[in-house]
Amino acid sequence: MEKGEPTNNNNNTRKQPSITLENSDKWVVVANYNGDNEVKVPDVNAHQCVRIVNCTASVIQLPDKVCRIIIANSKQTGLLFKASVTGLEVVNSSRINIQVQEVCPMFNIEKTEGCNVYLSQASLDAEIVTSLSSCINIVIPAKSDTDDPIERAIPEQYRTVVVGDKLRTEPVTHIG
């Protein structure tokens, strides 16, 4: 190396995007996509779990029903999926958009900042659990073709009071 030549001590090489099968084909792992608008995951089935990790500015599509979906350590990522047998989990992520076309019985969102969940008519009875998360919105489908979908925010602030020997917790509402 010549004197005065810039040195590159950055050992952070970008990992290659991939879709792989793990654990006897029980897990489909979608990893390291960055800026890919249409990542279609073919040939998934209801016996497989899908793990989406380290994706940024990408849209992942799951055209068939899967057992379970986990999104981890991803940013500005969208997921369009047909259905999930047990549910979907988002953890350590930000600015995530999720749309279910059929049924998903549970959404678990942890340590996530910014997540929009677009429910289908068949998923209106889904359970939604959030923990250590903010800016979580649920979009309820329109009742008719002439109506607009309804967007509802999950409360981020709660008030707890002691009543006898029990705690009563309710969301804080701001009027004004």
User: For 49-105, how does the pLDDT look when each residue is reduced to its tens digit (9 = 90+)?
Assistant: 999 999 999 999 999 999 999 999 999 999 999 999 999 999 999 999 999 999 999
Radius of gyration, CA atoms only, the chain: 20
Using 50, 70 and 90 to split pLDDT, how confident is the model at 1?
A: very low
Task: In whole angstroms, give the CA distance from residue 116 to residue 98.
Answer: 6
pTM of the full structure = 0.86
The total number of residues shown for the chain amounts to 176
Dist. CA 73–CA 67, nearest whole Å: 20
